[in-house]
Amino acid sequence: MWAPRLPLSGRPRWAPALPVLALALAWSGPAAAQPEGGQGEAGQPWRLQSSSWLGLGDPAAGAQGAGAPMVQWLTLSRSWRDPGLGQATLVMSAWGRLDPLDLGGAGLGADLDLFYVEAQAATQPLRLRVGRQLIVGGAARLRQIDGLWLSWRPGVGLGAQLYAGTPTRGRFGTAWGDAVAGGRLAYAFGFEHEVGVSYLLSAKGGRVSAQDLGLDLHLRPLRPLSLSARSTLALGADDLKEGALRLGWQLSPSLRVDAYSELVRPDLFLDQGSIFSVFSDGARVEGGSALAWRAARGLEVGGAFSQLLEASGGRDGLRGRLTLRHTLWRGALRLGLDLDALGLRAAGAQPEEGYAGGRVFGRLRLGERGLLWASAAHYQLAAPVNGAPSSTVLQLGGAWAVGEGLTLNLTGRYAQTPTYLHQATLMARLDWRFDAASARAPVAVSDEEEE
Digit-coded pLDDT (tens) for 140-163: 999 999 999 999 999 889 999 999
* Other Cβ atoms closer than 10 A to 105: 11
pLDDT of 3 reads 36
The CA distance from 118 to 159, in Å, is: 18
pLDDT-derived band at 19 (thresholds 50, 70, 90) equals very low
* Cβ proximity of 215 and 231 under 8 Å: yes
Task: Write the single-letter amino acid at 23.
Answer: L
Confidence of residue 170 (pLDDT cuts 50, 70, 90): confident
**E-strand spans in 86-206?**
86-98, 108-121, 126-136, 142-155, 158-167, 179-188, 194-204
Which amino acid belongs to residue 64? Answer: Q
Q: Which residues contact 174 (CB under 8 A, 6 or more apart)?
A: 8, 10, 11, 12, 15, 146, 166, 167
The answer to which of 236-245, 350-359, 390-399 has the lowest mean pLDDT is 350-359
Q: Is the pLDDT of residue 31 over 50?
A: no
pTM of the model: 0.80
C-beta separation of 132 from 115 below 8 A: yes
In this predicted structure, what is the pLDDT of residue 312?
65
- Cα–Cα distances (Å) from 174 to 92, 146, 336, in that order, read 20, 10, 45
Taking only the tens place, the pLDDT of each residue in 316-341 is: 899 999 999 999 988 899 999 999 99
- Per DSSP, the three-state class of 64 is coil
Q: What's the pLDDT score for residue 428?
A: 94
Distances (CA, A) of 292 to 258, 302, 304, 339, 358: 9, 5, 9, 15, 18
- Residue percentage of the chain with pLDDT more than 70: 80
- Please write the tens of the pLDDT for every residue from 39-78: 445 567 889 999 998 888 754 444 455 567 899 999 999 9
Amino acid 349: pLDDT: 59
Q: What is the mean pLDDT of residues 250-261?
A: 96
pLDDT at 288 over 90: yes
Q: Which is nearest to 401 in space by CA: 370, 355, 447, 436?
A: 370
- Check pLDDT > 60 for residue 99: yes
Taking residues 176-204, report their average pLDDT.
93
State the chain's mean pLDDT as an integer.
Answer: 83
Position 447 scores a pLDDT of 56
Kindly report, residue by residue over 375-411, the tens digit of the pLDDT. 999 999 998 988 899 999 999 999 999 988 899 999 9
Query: Which of 20-34, 322-336, 369-383, 406-420 is predicted with the least confidence, judged by mean pLDDT?
Result: 20-34
Instruction: Using the Cα atoms of residue 407, residue 411, residue 417 and residue 421 in order, give the sign of their dihedral.
Output: positive
Average pLDDT of the segment spanning 98-126: 87
Instruction: Name the least confident of 1-5, 342-346, 398-402.
Output: 1-5
> How confident is the model at residue 190, as a pLDDT?
81
